[in-house]
Amino acid sequence: SMAAHVRGCRCSSLFLSSFFAGGKKIVGVFYQAGEYADKNPDFVGCVEGALGIRDWLESNGHHYIVTDDKEGLNSELEKHIEDMHVLITTPFHPAYVTAERIKKAKNLELVLTAGIGSDHIDLLAAAAAGLTVAEVTGSNTVSVAEDQLMRILILLRNFLPGYQQVVKGEWNVAGIAHRAYDLEGKTVGTVGAGRIGRLLLQRLKPFNCNMLYHDRIRINPELEKEIGAKFEEDLDVMLPKCDVIVINTPLTEKTRGMFNKEKIAKMKKGVIIVNNARGAIMDTQAVADACSNGYIAGYGGDVWFPQPAPKDHPWRYMPNHAMTPHTSGTTIDAQLRYASGVKDMLDRYFKGEDFPVENYIVKEGELASQYK
């Protein structure tokens, strides 16, 4: 039978694509798990886990290729650009979907982000090419907000030097205590108060700090009152008031490189900054310089530009940082939510149905409001 022949054919990928005439070629780019792949059955966000949708896709006649090899013309991703129909990317190991790649991708219809934040895609080029770009809105907002709160505390309490002392066999209370502070009574400002920013403010409330927020859109009055944060229309007026500044804006043409030397100079000397939004919102060298000369007392986050961060990235070596690889939004809980959201959108795409409206980043040539 035809099916037996397909199973028996070793070089069946070409044959399969004609056999399943209605099948789509789907490419997923995720981080490689290696030795950690089988440590947790719910670890679906890696290449090996492949979002847990391989069997479902293949049993429906689709061709599914996953890789972590994304950079340059000789990458595995590049081999599939010309004939893929759907590309699934993730912010944690971003495939940079440039205008050149979009131009080459003759069959591409849909680009899905497993997570939130689609700035690794040239959105204007995607809109011009008539592509749909969508992400799993809300899938990891709690994960990121929790992590921001953790980093605020880690930096304020000067935790990492204490940990390092213990590991090195040292003991020096003064070395930690001379720059350790309570969160209570401090002024914390968030630049951006969307889903993550609001969740962070809600979680900060019991710490009895003074909360400010700056955004294009004011939070509705009831929620604003319930959260207890004060709206600051002018960012430059908010910055000098803050002991802690948290970045919660998407990366857009307007926010790219926004926190440069001049903006940092408007902050309080001894400020703590947490940025789990996007690395490119900051001027990399300006942050490293301000940490080195003590103007910034601590900088923490999990986002870099580019990603993975090169070995010589200045943020690796600056003092008083609480940096990690891009991990906050890819907890196991978050992976399960964004994997399920991707599957739901693929299912709707195969059936010709619309996605949940808040998931669209580019639709019919239009960019979502936050990227305009």
- Same domain for 309 and 340: no
pLDDT of residue 6: 43
- Same domain for 234 and 98: no
- Same domain for 298 and 156: yes
Catalytic position from the list 148, 158, 307, 359: 307
pLDDT of residue 21: 60
Whether 7 is in a domain gets the answer: no
- Same domain for 290 and 364: no
pLDDT of residue 214: 98
Band (pLDDT 50/70/90 cuts) for residue 2 is very low
Tell me the C-alpha distance between 267 and 214, whole Å: 14
Whether 260 is in a domain gets the answer: yes
Whether 189 is in a domain gets the answer: yes
- Same domain for 235 and 165: yes
Active site residue 140: yes
pLDDT of residue 112: 98
Amino acid at 148: Q
Summary mean pLDDT of the chain: 94
Whether 3 is in a domain gets the answer: no
Tell me the C-alpha distance between 358 and 355, whole Å: 8
Instruction: Give the residue-averaged pLDDT of 183-204.
Output: 98
Q: Indicate if the pLDDT at residue 11 is higher than 80.
A: no
Whether 12 is in a domain gets the answer: no
Instruction: Give the residue-averaged pLDDT of 325-341.
Output: 98
Catalytic position from the list 140, 248, 275, 359: 140
pLDDT of residue 9: 46
- Same domain for 118 and 52: yes
Percent of the chain at pLDDT > 90 equals 93
Whether 10 is in a domain gets the answer: no
63-85 per-position pLDDT tens digit: 999 999 999 999 999 999 999 99
Annotated binding residues for NAD(+):
141, 195-196, 215, 250-254, 276, 302, 326-329
85-97 per-position pLDDT tens digit: 999 999 999 999 9
Instruction: Give the residue-averaged pLDDT of 296-321.
Output: 98
Instruction: Give the residue-averaged pLDDT of 163-190.
Output: 98
- Same domain for 32 and 111: yes
Alpha helices of the chain — where are they, by DSSP H? 2-8, 12-19, 54-59, 76-80, 99-104, 123-128, 141-156, 159-167, 173-177, 195-204, 221-227, 235-238, 261-265, 284-292, 332-351
Q: Indicate if the pLDDT at residue 345 is higher than 70.
A: yes
| β-pair partners for 246 | 190, 274
Overall number of domains in the chain: 2
- 210-214: strand order across its sheet: 229-231, 210-214, 187-191, 244-247, 271-275, 296-301, 321-323
Q: Indicate if the pLDDT at residue 61 is higher than 70.
A: yes
Instruction: Give the residue-averaged pLDDT of 164-192.
Output: 98
296-301 vs 271-275, strand pairing mode: parallel
- Same domain for 180 and 112: no
Tell me the C-alpha distance between 74 and 193, whole Å: 41
Instruction: Give the residue-averaged pLDDT of 137-164.
Output: 98
Whether 15 is in a domain gets the answer: no
Helix (H) or strand (E) holding 65: strand 63-67
Active site residue 278: yes
Band (pLDDT 50/70/90 cuts) for residue 22 is confident
Instruction: Give the residue-averaged pLDDT of 165-188.
Output: 98
- Same domain for 161 and 133: no
Annotated binding residues:
116, 140-141, 195-196, 215, 250-254, 276, 302, 326-329
Whether 112 is in a domain gets the answer: yes
Active site residue 62: no
Lowest mean pLDDT among 15-24, 268-277, 313-322: 15-24
Instruction: Report the predicted TM-score, pTM, of the whole model to 2 decimal places.
Output: 0.92
- Same domain for 335 and 265: no
Q: What is the CATH number of the domain that holds 255?
A: 3.40.50.720
Instruction: Give the residue-averaged pLDDT of 330-347.
Output: 98
- Same domain for 196 and 301: yes
Band (pLDDT 50/70/90 cuts) for residue 17 is very low
Q: Indicate if the pLDDT at residue 16 is higher than 60.
A: no
Active site residue 307: yes
pLDDT of residue 372: 83
Q: What does DSSP assign to residue 7?
A: H
Band (pLDDT 50/70/90 cuts) for residue 18 is very low
SS3 82: coil
Tell me the C-alpha distance between 63 and 57, whole Å: 7
Q: Give the range of the structural domain holding residue 265, as residue numbers without chain letter.
A: 140-323
Catalytic position from the list 326, 335, 337, 359: 326
Catalytic position from the list 63, 93, 151, 278: 278
Residue 50 CA neighbour count, 13 Å, CB half: 15
